[in-house]
């Protein structure tokens, strides 16, 4: 059974720091991996989607990498800002489950960026 883990559960950094959020998954047979952001009381916003054949994706100050063989993904945030404060979730779509589109979510890392 695929399991997705995000460590740490919470992270606090000063503004301007570069930081890395970690996501690990137990089964390397994935179709894709997606990173989301969730603000308190809000829905999830898709940040980056990495297909299984890709190694990384970039959007602005965000860079996500994928290493399928080791079951790991990282989300790199450059020059963090207070507005980056949110919960970040990763989710994998296991290979062979594309008929359900069922993503397996991690429990998230709550990031606080202090001014």
**What is the binding site for other proteins (CB under 8 A)?**
31-32, 34, 36, 41-46, 49, 51, 89, 91, 93, 98-103, 105-108
In 3D space, the residue among 70, 77, 72, 14 whose CA is nearest the CA of residue 47 turns out to be 77
Q: How far is the CB of 115 from other proteins (least distance, A)?
A: 27
The nearer residue to other proteins, 80 or 109, going by C-beta atoms, is 109
The nearer residue to other proteins, 34 or 73, going by C-beta atoms, is 34
State how beta strands 4-7 and 72-77 pair: unpaired
| CA-derived radius of gyration, the chain | 14
Dihedral angle sign, alpha carbons of residues 78, 83, 87, 89: negative
Q: How far is the CB of 4 from other proteins (least distance, A)?
A: 9
The nearer residue to other proteins, 80 or 111, going by C-beta atoms, is 111
Cα–Cα distance for residue pair 102/92, rounded to 1 Å: 9
The nearer residue to other proteins, 42 or 61, going by C-beta atoms, is 42
Q: How far is the CB of 38 from other proteins (least distance, A)?
A: 9
The residue assigned the tokens 């790991």 is: 72
């Amino acid at each position: 059974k695929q399991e997705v883990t995000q460590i740490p559960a919470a992270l606090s950094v000063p503004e301007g720091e570069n930081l890395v959020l970690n996501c690990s998954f137990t089964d390397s047979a994935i179709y894709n991996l997606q990173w989301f952001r969730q603000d308190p009381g809000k829905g999830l916003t898709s940040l980056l989607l990495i297909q299984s054949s890709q190694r990384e994706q970039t959007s602005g100050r965000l860079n996500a990498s994928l290493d399928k063989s080791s079951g790991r993904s990282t989300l790199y945030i450059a020059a963090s800002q207070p507005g980056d404060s949110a919960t970040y979730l990763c989710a994998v779509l296991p290979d062979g489950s594309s008929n359900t589109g069922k993503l397996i979510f991690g429990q998230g890392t709550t990031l606080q960026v202090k001014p």
